[in-house]
């Protein structure tokens, strides 16, 4: 007893009826694509999980009439430069006038602003795990004096204090050596 099997059909063991093979493959492919899309498709919950992998910080050009066209911006964490970028005034060449730094860890940061003809500006900000909004910090520079805004000593202040302590230490070492030499003279007498 032979049965004719037409192209695209196959006979399954224990089943005398021929089944369309292409229909099964397409169904399986459709199910596979649906499951893959469901797993990979971003949702609001996955966005929240992604944000927990890193925080964001936006730095914007204050764009005042006396502000410089170009500002070098450096992000410090624990005294180490983490990021460095240049920001253009939005009034110049249609520039965005902002920097967005992503994937930052929680901590106390310093943002250093530098530009030709201006004193350095420093702002401090603390990023905390679980923040829902991206904090924004505006550039601030002065031609007359260095600006340091935010609580606690800045990296620049700590470096200045360290330099002063090193200088005082050298002077004390010289004084100790001088006193030791006098003591040695007195012992010889």
Render pLDDT for 57-98 as a digit per residue (tens, 0 to 9): 988 887 666 778 889 999 998 888 999 998 887 776 556 778
According to the per-residue pLDDT averaged within each range, which of 24-28, 98-102, 129-133, 144-148 is highest? 98-102
Mean pLDDT score, 94-104: 82
Mean pLDDT score, 36-42: 49
Per-residue pLDDT at 155 exceeds 80: no
Q: How far apart are CA 109 and CA 126, in angstroms?
A: 6
pTM beyond 0.75: no
Q: What is the pLDDT of residue 43?
A: 39
Q: How far apart are CA 164 and CA 73, in angstroms?
A: 27
Q: What is the pLDDT of residue 22?
A: 55
Q: What is the pLDDT of residue 171?
A: 93
């Amino acid at each position: 007893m032979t049965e004719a099997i037409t192209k695209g059909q196959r006979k399954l063991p224990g089943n005398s009826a021929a089944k369309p093979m292409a229909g099964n493959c397409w169904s399986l492919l459709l199910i596979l694509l649906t499951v893959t899309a469901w797993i990979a498709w971003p949702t609001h919950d996955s966005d929240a999980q992604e944000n927990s992998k890193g925080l964001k910080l936006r730095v914007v050009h204050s764009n005042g009439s006396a502000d410089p066209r170009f500002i070098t911006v450096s992000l410090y964490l624990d005294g180490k430069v983490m990021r460095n970028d240049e920001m253009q005034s939005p009034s110049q060449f249609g520039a965005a006038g902002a920097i967005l730094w992503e994937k930052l860890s929680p901590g106390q940061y310093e943002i250093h602003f530098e530009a030709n003809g201006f004193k350095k500006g420093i702002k401090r900000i603390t990023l905390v795990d679980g923040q829902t909004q991206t904090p924004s910090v505006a550039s601030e520079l002065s031609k007359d004096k260095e600006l340091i805004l935010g609580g606690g000593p800045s990296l620049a202040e700590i470096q200045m204090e360290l330099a002063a302590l090193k200088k005082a230490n050298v002077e004390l070492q010289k004084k100790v050596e001088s006193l030791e030499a006098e003591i040695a003279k007195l012992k010889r007498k």
